[in-house]
Structure 1
Amino acid sequence: MRGVKTISFNSGRFGPWEVDLAPSVYPPREDTELICRTLSRIKGMGRKAVEIGCGSGVVSMALSEMGWNVHGYDINPYAVACSRANIEKLGYSGSVVIDEGGLGESGWRIPDDVELVVWNLPYLSPPEEGEPLLEPIEEASMSDIGGKGWSFELLEYLNNHGSENIVVVALFRIEPDSPSTPSDWTNSGWSCRIIDSLRMGDEKLGVFCLWKTGFGLPAVRVNSCESTMDYSVGLPAEGWQRIVADKQVMGRGRRGSMWESKEGDLIASWRINREISELPSPGLLQISIGASVSSLINCDLKWPNDLVSATGKKIGGILIEANSSDRGFRLGIGINSASRTVEGEFCPGWRDTLGELPRDYIFDCVDSMVSSIIEKDDRIPDNSPMSLQIDSWKALSRLLSRGQRVEYKGKEVRVVGIDSDGFLHIVDRGKRKALSTTDDLVWGFGNNVVTD
Structure 2
Amino acid sequence: MSAPPPLEQEALRRACGRPVVLLPSCGSTNREAARLAQEGAEHGLVVITERQTEGRGRQGRAWMSSEGQNLTFSLVLRPRLPTAQAPLICLGAAVAIAEVTDLRIKWPNDVLDDEGRKVCGVLAELVTVGPRLDAVILGVGLNVFQTEFPPELPNPGSLALLGRRVDRAALLGRIVQEIFTRAAELETNPGWVLEAWRQRSHTLGRRVRVGDLEGVAEDIRDDGALLIRTPRGLKPVLTGDVELVGRL
Common fold: TM-score over 0.5: yes
Q: Which residue of 2 aligns with 1:95?
A: none
2:54 aligned to 232, 242, 250, which one?
250
**C-alpha spacing 1:294/1:422, structure 2 compared with 1 (3 Å):** same
RCO higher in structure (CA 8 A, sep ≥6)? 2
Percent sequence identity over aligned pairs: 22
1:285-329: CA deviation from partner (whole Å, max 9, x where unpaired) = 212221221122232210012112333222111111014358212
Q: Distance in 1 between matches of 2:238 and 2:162?
A: 29
Q: Which residue of 2 aligns with 1:231?
A: 32
Deviation at 1:408, TM superposition (A): 4.6
Deviation at 1:334, TM superposition (A): 0.6
2:78 matches 1:273: yes
1:135-174: CA deviation from partner (whole Å, max 9, x where unpaired) = xxxxxxxxxxxxxxxxxxxxxxxxxxxxxxxxxxxxxxxx
Q: Which runs of 4+ in 1 moved over 6 A?
A: none
2:65 matches 1:261: yes
1:415 aligned to 197, 205, 217, which one?
217
Q: CA RMSD in A?
A: 2.7
Q: Distance in 1 between matches of 2:135 and 2:109?
A: 20
Contact 1:287 1:305 in 2 (8 A): yes
Q: Distance in 1 between matches of 2:97 and 2:232?
A: 33
1:5-63: CA deviation from partner (whole Å, max 9, x where unpaired) = xxxxxxxxxxxxxxxxxxxxxxxxxxxxxxxxxxxxxxxxxxxxxxxxxxxxxxxxxxx
Q: Secondary structure at 2:98's aligned position in 1?
A: helix
**C-alpha spacing 1:385/1:406, structure 2 compared with 1 (3 Å):** same
Q: Which residue of 1 aligns with 2:6?
A: none
Q: Distance in 1 between matches of 2:246 and 2:167?
A: 29
> Higher Cα Rg: structure 1 or 2?
1
Q: Distance in 2 between matches of 1:273 and 1:429?
A: 42
Contact 1:237 1:273 in 2 (8 A): no
2:195 matches 1:386: no
2:120 matches 1:316: yes
Q: Secondary structure at 1:271's aligned position in 2?
A: strand
1:351-403: CA deviation from partner (whole Å, max 9, x where unpaired) = 2336100221221111011111225xxxx89341111111111111xx257x7
Scaled by the length of structure 2, the TM-score of the pair is: 0.79
Deviation at 1:270, TM superposition (A): 0.8
1:98-156: CA deviation from partner (whole Å, max 9, x where unpaired) = xxxxxxxxxxxxxxxxxxxxxxxxxxxxxxxxxxxxxxxxxxxxxxxxxxxxxxxxxxx
Q: Secondary structure at 2:74's aligned position in 1?
A: strand
Q: Distance in 2 between matches of 1:217 and 1:283?
A: 24
2:139 aligned to 313, 320, 332, which one?
332
**C-alpha spacing 1:353/1:305, structure 2 compared with 1 (3 Å):** same
Q: Distance in 1 between matches of 2:71 and 2:127?
A: 25
Q: Distance in 1 between matches of 2:203 and 2:60?
A: 28
1:366 aligned to 164, 168, 175, which one?
175
Q: Which residue of 2 aligns with 1:293?
A: 97
Instruction: Letter of the 1:364 partner, please give it.
Output: G
**C-alpha spacing 1:249/1:284, structure 2 compared with 1 (3 Å):** same
Q: Distance in 1 between matches of 2:75 and 2:246?
A: 32
**C-alpha spacing 1:374/1:280, structure 2 compared with 1 (3 Å):** farther
* Match runs of 1:45-444 below 5 Å: 216-235=17-36, 236-262=40-66, 263-277=68-82, 281-325=85-129, 327-337=134-144, 338-345=146-153, 346-353=155-162, 355-375=164-184, 382-396=187-201, 399-400=202-203, 404-408=206-210, 412-429=214-231, 431-438=233-240, 441-444=242-245
Contact 1:373 1:383 in 2 (8 A): no
Q: Secondary structure at 1:342's aligned position in 2?
A: coil
Q: Secondary structure at 1:347's aligned position in 2?
A: coil
1:59-99: CA deviation from partner (whole Å, max 9, x where unpaired) = xxxxxxxxxxxxxxxxxxxxxxxxxxxxxxxxxxxxxxxxx
Unpaired segments of 5 or more residues in structure 1?
1-187, 190-212, 447-452
Q: Secondary structure at 2:134's aligned position in 1?
A: coil
Unpaired segments of 5 or more residues in structure 2?
1-13
Contact 2:58 2:123 in 1 (8 A): yes
Q: Secondary structure at 2:181's aligned position in 1?
A: helix
Deviation at 1:411, TM superposition (A): 6.4
**C-alpha spacing 1:445/1:293, structure 2 compared with 1 (3 Å):** farther
Instruction: Letter of the 1:421 partner, please give it.
Output: D
**C-alpha spacing 1:222/1:444, structure 2 compared with 1 (3 Å):** same
Instruction: Letter of the 1:390 partner, please give it.
Output: E
